[in-house]
């Protein structure tokens, strides 16, 4: 009568030990990079210029590849954490579109942002944006469509604010765009005046947190002279919330683009 319970206990103990060994092996494999290996490869400026040539047939005056002195990086805290430091020089490819300009920033092969800025009766509006991240070999792409998101109003007044609204397939951003005011900046040793605008948006839906973008615009066109990116967002997974963090600053190195 006592043999069956003893066999059952031995089976349960053996099963628990087996599961513990499997979990430990997986954890060790992750820790030593055998299963999940995170890499972040910088983008070649030469390749960026080549792609610009392939896509442009009749470039406008503003079009081209602009180089930016870059500081900062991004990180996540999942699976032991990973941090990507951005290269000292990154690029923004500016291409005209019917309503204004499309700006494509790519710091790493798996990290890019695209902003479409349109000139409307209200001023300069953010029409859409796309953000791409890649960690542990997995690419995450989020595309936002925006409405009424005026970055630079027609009548510029320091302290003026306007609603900031964008929506993606998995959530939304809502907040304010605020005109900070005119500030002096330096580009290639030349002092010039730039309009500083800040957007602060609350992210809800699949992701949640805060996104802040600081823009310094050249008053003669839609080219940003500086950009500051600050992100504190989270996303829920079966293992719990995964937190994403980004702090980056881009400073234009020259008003003359590569072509």
Asked whether residue 89 carries a pLDDT value surpassing 80, the answer given is yes
Please tell me whether residue 6 adopts helix, strand or coil conformation.
Answer: helix
* Res. 78 pLDDT band, cuts 50 70 90: confident
Tell me the per-residue pLDDT of 164-179, one tens digit each, with 9 for 90 and over: 999 998 889 999 999 9
pLDDT in tens, 244-259: 999 999 999 999 999 8
SS3 67: strand
Q: Give pTM, 2 decimals.
A: 0.83
Choice between 227 and 156, residue whose per-residue pLDDT is larger: 227
User: What is the DSSP code string of 21-55?
Assistant: HHHHHHHHHHHTTSS-----PBPPHHHHHHHHHHH
């Amino acid at each position: 009568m006592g043999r069956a319970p003893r066999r059952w206990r031995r089976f349960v103990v053996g099963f628990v030990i087996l599961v513990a060994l499997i979990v430990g092996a997986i954890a060790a494999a992750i820790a030593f990079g055998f299963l999940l290996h995170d890499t972040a490869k910088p983008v070649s400026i030469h390749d960026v210029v080549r792609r610009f040539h392939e896509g442009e047939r009749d470039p406008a005056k503003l079009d081209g590849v602009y180089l930016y002195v870059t500081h900062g990086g991004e990180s996540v805290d999942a699976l032991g954490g990973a941090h990507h430091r951005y290269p000292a020089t990154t690029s923004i490819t500016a291409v005209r579109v019917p309503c204004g300009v499309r700006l494509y920033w790519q710091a790493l092969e798996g990290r890019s942002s695209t902003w479409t800025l349109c000139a409307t009766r209200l001023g300069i509006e953010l029409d859409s944006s796309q953000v791409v991240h890649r960690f542990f070999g997995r690419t995450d792409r989020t595309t936002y469509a925006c409405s009424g998101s005026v970055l630079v109003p027609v009548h510029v007044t320091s302290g003026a604010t306007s609603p900031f609204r964008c929506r993606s397939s998995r959530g939304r951003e809502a907040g304010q765009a605020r005109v900070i005011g005119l500030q002096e900046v330096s580009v290639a040793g030349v002092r010039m005046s730039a309009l500083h605008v800040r957007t602060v948006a609350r992210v809800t839906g699949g992701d949640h947190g805060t996104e802040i973008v600081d823009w310094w615009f050249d008053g003669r066109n839609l080219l940003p002279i500086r950009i500051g990116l600050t992100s504190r967002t989270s996303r829920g997974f079966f293992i719990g919330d995964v937190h994403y963090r980004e702090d980056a600053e881009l400073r234009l190195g020259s008003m003359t683009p590569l072509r």
